[in-house]
């Protein structure tokens, strides 16, 4: 059993490694060219593959985009799952720390901007993604209100939108002036302004 | 004198109209394709011109971009010049109202994201633009502090960064969910949180 299983396992590992390389190449291309202008040939080249070789792993550019976004969201979820209220807000600040100086930030800024176009293949994905993120922050703030840690007179929905906006906008500024400020600290300060306890 | 002046005046008006049409066409192309992928031929076509006809008015795509950005900044300055402190902050909220549902918002989001790439021809422009905007808000808040209208314990520099980030981020969200909230109201609420007087 062990010997027969060895070969497939090796194959899986090889495939996983190949997929990782492709995702890395795709990230680099999406970051500068955006999604619409990115070419599968360029991604194949950077991953050291032929175009048919790339298509064997990802049939379309959109499949590849989904994989990139999926991996990113999976990582974010690690900081959020099973947490609520103030503790969930702490998870959000952890994500802000992770995002700081992250090479994916530029890609996300590009994709989020170009996908505002209703015809963009990732438009629905990004619309849904914003609803989900705003919804998560809103839930955290509503729970904080129930715990008594949200200062009175603040609307969780409006505050959640402001939080997500602040986070996106700081990422953009950090791409122009990386050394000027700490995103995570500013986000923490902003949230604490509306809370009765420190984060 | 009057008769001889008529012809040139007519020519100036015609040229101005032609330039307006070109800028409108460029805005539409930059909004969806971004700057890097935008083609001068496509802009010429939309403006009802040949490519040499377009190049007669704007020698390069970058010249055209500068005109687009210059017009936008000129309009923003009308809301800001000669104002200071709390009054300058009111001017900023006026700009947020103007930007709401503005067709240029998508273009700015696209350009600001793609120009984070250090090789982008508008990188220096956007870096300088962010410094200028953050600097203006910082000045308004510093003056507000001197007037006694900024609540104590808040740093004008950090608050200015947060303000600009909030504004950019809300514009992006509004492109996905235009009816979900009022950008200007949220921005006003955010600022008032840090002030001793209403805006």
**Least confident segment among A69-83, A122-136, A167-181, B184-198:** A69-83
List the single residue in A with minimal CA-CA distance to B133. A173
pLDDT at position B2 is 46
DSSP one-letter string for A78-126: HHHTT--HHHHHHHHHHHHHHHTT-THHHHHHHHHHHTTSTTSTTHHHH
What does each C-alpha distance from B172 to A68, A85, A179, B23, B186 come to in angstroms?
21, 26, 24, 23, 14
What are the residues facing A195 on neighbouring strands? A150
Residue located via tokens 């100036």: B12
CB A69 within 8 A of CB A115: no
Mean pLDDT of B124-131: 92
pLDDT at position A45 is 97
What are the residues facing B195 on neighbouring strands? B150
List the single residue in B with minimal CA-CA distance to A117. B32
Taking an 8 Å cut-off on Cβ atoms, the answer to whether B113 and A116 are in contact is no
CB of B167 within 8 Å of a chain A CB? The answer is yes
Identify all chain A residues contacting B113, using CB atoms and an 8 Å cutoff.
106, 109-110, 112-114, 172
CB A174 within 8 A of CB A105: yes
CB of A33 within 8 Å of a chain B CB? The answer is yes
Mean pLDDT, rounded, of chain A: 89
Mean pLDDT of B95-107: 77
Mean pLDDT of B120-127: 90
pLDDT at position B149 is 95
Identify all chain A residues contacting B162, using CB atoms and an 8 Å cutoff.
166, 170, 186, 190
Identify all chain A residues contacting B34, using CB atoms and an 8 Å cutoff.
34, 37, 114
Taking an 8 Å cut-off on Cβ atoms, the answer to whether A117 and B177 are in contact is no
Radius of gyration of chain B (CA): 20
Q: How far is B7 from chain A (nearest CA, A)?
A: 43
pLDDT of A7 > 60? The answer is no
CB A164 within 8 A of CB A130: yes
**Shortest CB distance from B169 goes to which of A37, A168, A181?**
A168
List the single residue in B with minimal CA-CA distance to A124. B176
pLDDT of A157 > 90? The answer is yes
**Least confident segment among A103-107, B65-69, B183-187:** A103-107
Mean pLDDT of A62-84: 89
Domains and CATH numbers, chain B: 1-68 (1.10.10.60), 79-199 (1.10.357.10)
Residue located via tokens 């999976």: A74
Helix axes A104-114, A156-176, angle to 10 degrees: 120
Taking an 8 Å cut-off on Cβ atoms, the answer to whether A37 and B37 are in contact is yes
pLDDT at position A1 is 44
Mean pLDDT, rounded, of chain B: 89
**Is this complex scored with an ipTM above 0.90?**
no
CB of A172 within 8 Å of a chain B CB? The answer is yes
pLDDT at position B4 is 47
Mean pLDDT of A47-72: 93
Task: Quote the CA–CA distance of A166 and B121 in Å, as a whole number.
Answer: 26
pLDDT of B97 > 70? The answer is yes
Task: Quote the CA–CA distance of A67 and A26 in Å, as a whole number.
Answer: 10
pLDDT at position A84 is 93
Mean pLDDT of A172-183: 91
């Amino acid at each position: 059993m062990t010997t027969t299983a060895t070969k497939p396992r090796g194959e899986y590992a090889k495939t996983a490694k190949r997929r990782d390389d492709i995702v890395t190449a795709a990230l680099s291309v999406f970051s500068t060219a955006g999604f619409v202008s990115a070419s599968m040939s360029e991604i194949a080249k950077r991953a050291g593959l032929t175009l048919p070789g790339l298509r064997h792993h990802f049939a379309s550019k959109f499949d590849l985009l989904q994989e990139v976004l999926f991996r990113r969201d999976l990582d974010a979820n690690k900081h959020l799952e099973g947490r609520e209220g103030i503790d969930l807000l702490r998870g959000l600040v952890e994500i802000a720390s992770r995002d700081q100086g992250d090479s994916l930030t530029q890609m996300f800024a590009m994709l989020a901007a170009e996908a505002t176009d209703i015809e963009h293949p990732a438009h629905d994905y990004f619309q849904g993604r914003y609803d989900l993120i705003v919804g998560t922050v809103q839930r955290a703030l509503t729970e904080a209100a129930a715990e008594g840690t949200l200062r009175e007179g603040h609307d969780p929905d409006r505050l959640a939108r402001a939080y997500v906006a602040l986070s996106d906008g700081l990422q953009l500024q950090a791409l122009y002036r990386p050394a000027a400020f700490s995103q995570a600290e500013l986000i923490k300060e902003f949230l604490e302004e509306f809370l009765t306890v420190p984060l």
